[in-house]
């Protein structure tokens, strides 16, 4: 099984509903081991826009990184993501942060995620679920976080996979 860390973000429509739908879809690829709380974060770059909601989860899967990437794209499409403005507002952004300790550069995927070590809205929820994790070529998450404390990130809600399971049973 591979350990895959995935980030979720969104600031249009109902990001939390998109997060729930995305987690449900990723459950078809493996087991969601851990999920951070929900963080409200200021946008990083791009046009003037509202704050984002962000989270990170750990998926254990036997699928390839390309299978995981395809699921990310499907989830974004199902939530109405339209790619128009780089770093612009979006209903859902799904990024593969880490796939084991794989370092990879293809046309569609860079691992580890090339800017994750610069983004508090990624590192803080990542540290919540895996406080000792190392990012290949960059260092450990705690040390990296110390260098970017200036970005506004606020943990606003607990959100665990158990809640997803109880929500799924209510939907039936």
Percent of the chain's residues with pLDDT above 70: 86
Closest alpha carbon to 96 in 131, 124, 135: 135
Residue with the larger pLDDT of the pair 44 and 132: 132
Strand 153-157 and strand 139-140: pairing?
unpaired
Domain borders along the chain are: 2-160
Q: Tokens representing 73?
A: 């794209």
Q: What is the pLDDT of residue 44?
A: 77
In this predicted structure, the answer to whether residue 131 has a pLDDT above a threshold of 90 is yes
Q: What is the pLDDT of residue 151?
A: 82
Can you name the CATH fold of 2-160?
A: Alpha-Beta Plaits (3.30.70)
In this predicted structure, the answer to whether residue 163 has a pLDDT above a threshold of 80 is no
* Mean pLDDT taken over the chain: 87
Kindly state the greatest CA–CA separation across the chain.
Answer: 46
The DSSP line for 26-70 is: HTTTEEEEEE--EEEE---SSSS-PPEEEEEEEEEESS-HHHHHH
Cα–Cα distance for residue pair 11/51, rounded to 1 Å: 6
CB 23 within 8 A of CB 32: yes
**Average pLDDT over every residue of 30-49:** 86
Q: What is the pLDDT of residue 171?
A: 36
Of the pLDDT bands very low, low, confident and very high (cuts 50, 70, 90), residue 170 is very low
The alpha carbon of 110 is separated from its chain's Cα centroid by a whole number of angstroms, namely 15
Q: What is the pLDDT of residue 36?
A: 94
Strand 52-61 and strand 30-35: pairing?
antiparallel
Active site residues: 81, 90, 93, 95
pLDDT digits (tens, 9 = 90+) for 60-113: 999 999 999 999 999 999 888 666 666 667 889 999 999 999 999 999 999 999
Cα–Cα distance for residue pair 161/31, rounded to 1 Å: 10
């Amino acid at each position: 099984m591979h350990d895959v860390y995935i980030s979720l973000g969104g600031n249009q429509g109902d990001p939390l509903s998109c997060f729930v739908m995305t987690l449900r879809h990723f459950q078809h690829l493996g087991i969601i081991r851990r999920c951070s709380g929900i963080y409200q974060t200021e946008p990083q770059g791009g046009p003037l826009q509202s704050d984002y909601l962000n989270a990170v989860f750990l998926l254990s899967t036997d699928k390839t990184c390309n299978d995981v990437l395809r699921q990310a794209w499907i989830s974004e499409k199902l939530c109405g993501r339209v790619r128009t403005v780089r770093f612009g507002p979006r209903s859902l952004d799904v990024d593969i942060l880490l796939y084991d300790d794989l370092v990879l550069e293809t046309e569609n995927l860079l691992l580890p995620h090339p800017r994750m070590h610069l983004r508090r809205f990624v590192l803080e929820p990542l540290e919540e679920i895996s406080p000792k994790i190392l990012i290949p070529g960059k260092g450990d998450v705690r040390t990296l976080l110390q260098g970017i404390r200036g970005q506004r990130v606020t943990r606003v809600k607990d959100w665990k996979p158990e809640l997803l399971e109880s929500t799924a049973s209510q939907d039936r």
